[in-house]
């Protein structure tokens, strides 16, 4: 399927591995030039080199800790005018309320919650001034499943869900679409590190976690003109887990 993305510029955060790297690859395959941002310069370089070798697209990297508002501002300045922003950087720890201290809680939210908000605050006005652009926030099904052993992620994802829906409900005035994708468990290094907060494999839909490419495909479609009437909504890509929890 031609997604109509040839020649667009996409900025993807958390792009050194997992969902972010898979999304960058799919957007490049669809014809986008890519700006990749994450902490690890070495991993970013490998993804960028792969994009150039496989698809012949431009791939720039920006290595920084996006929990820093100064780093976010520097990234926005370096990126310039982008057509697509995929907010994906985040590492929220598992644990119950009594397991997570204030410093750990704030560090997690500085990266994922405030990182998304701050970068959106800088990129959105650029898109609005041109009357075109798409922001995709990769959030997480925890907001709907509400597992108390992942309380920091539950609350953060709920905030980002409301943030996405609120902006996206009104962004049409500026010709901009804002949407979210909320994955369930995904087969990445992060799933292995969540411990009790991760769903055990025998309880996962279809008996497995999602592949990063399955999440990336949803992101690429929502970012494309093929989904041009979609805004202010969050797509659940969790095999039905959140629907089951709601019941």
- 150 is annotated as an active-site residue: yes
Q: Strand locations in the chain, DSSP E? A: 9-13, 33-38, 59-63, 84-87, 133-138, 176-183, 234-237
Three-class DSSP category at 1? coil
What are the angstrom distances between the C-alpha of 238 and each of 15, 29, 184, 206? 21, 24, 4, 10
Quote the CA–CA distance of 10 and 36 in Å, as a whole number: 9
User: In the chain, what's the furthest Cα-to-Cα distance?
Assistant: 49
Write down the catalytic residue from 116, 124, 150, 229. 150
Quote the CA–CA distance of 34 and 59 in Å, as a whole number: 5
Tokens found for residue 59: 């791939």
Quote the CA–CA distance of 15 and 61 in Å, as a whole number: 9
Quote the CA–CA distance of 193 and 150 in Å, as a whole number: 12
Residues 6+ apart with CB under 8 A from 174: 124, 127, 128, 131
Terminal CA-to-CA distance of the chain, rounded, Å?
35
Tokens found for residue 9: 């510029």
**Catalytic residue ranges:** 150
């Amino acid at each position: 399927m031609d997604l109509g993305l040839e020649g667009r510029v996409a900025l993807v955060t958390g792009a050194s591995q997992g969902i972010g790297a898979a999304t960058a690859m799919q957007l490049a395959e669809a014809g986008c030039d890519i700006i990749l941002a994450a902490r690890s310069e070495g991993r970013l370089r490998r993804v960028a080199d792969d994009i150039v070798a496989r698809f012949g697209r431009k791939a720039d990297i920006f290595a920084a800790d996006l929990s820093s508002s100064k780093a976010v501002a520097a990234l926005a300045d370096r990126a310039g005018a982008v057509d697509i922003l995929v907010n994906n950087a985040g590492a929220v720890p598992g644990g119950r309320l009594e397991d997570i201290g204030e410093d750990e809680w704030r560090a997690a939210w500085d990266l994922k919650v405030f990182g998304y908000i701050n970068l959106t605050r800088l990129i959105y006005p650029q898109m609005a001034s041109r009357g075109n652009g798409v922001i995709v926030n990769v959030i997480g099904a925890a907001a709907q499943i509400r597992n108390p052993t992942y309380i920091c992620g539950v609350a953060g994802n709920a905030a980002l869900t409301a943030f996405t829906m609120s902006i996206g409900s009104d962004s049409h005035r500026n010709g901009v679409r804002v949407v979210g994708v909320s994955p369930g468990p995904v087969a990445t290094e992060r799933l292995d590190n969540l411990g009790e907060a991760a769903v055990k494999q025998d309880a996962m839909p279809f008996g497995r976690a999602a592949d990063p490419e399955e999440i990336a495909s949803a992101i690429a479609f929502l970012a494309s003109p093929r989904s041009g009437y979609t805004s202010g909504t969050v797509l659940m890509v969790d095999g039905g887990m959140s629907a089951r929890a709601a019941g």
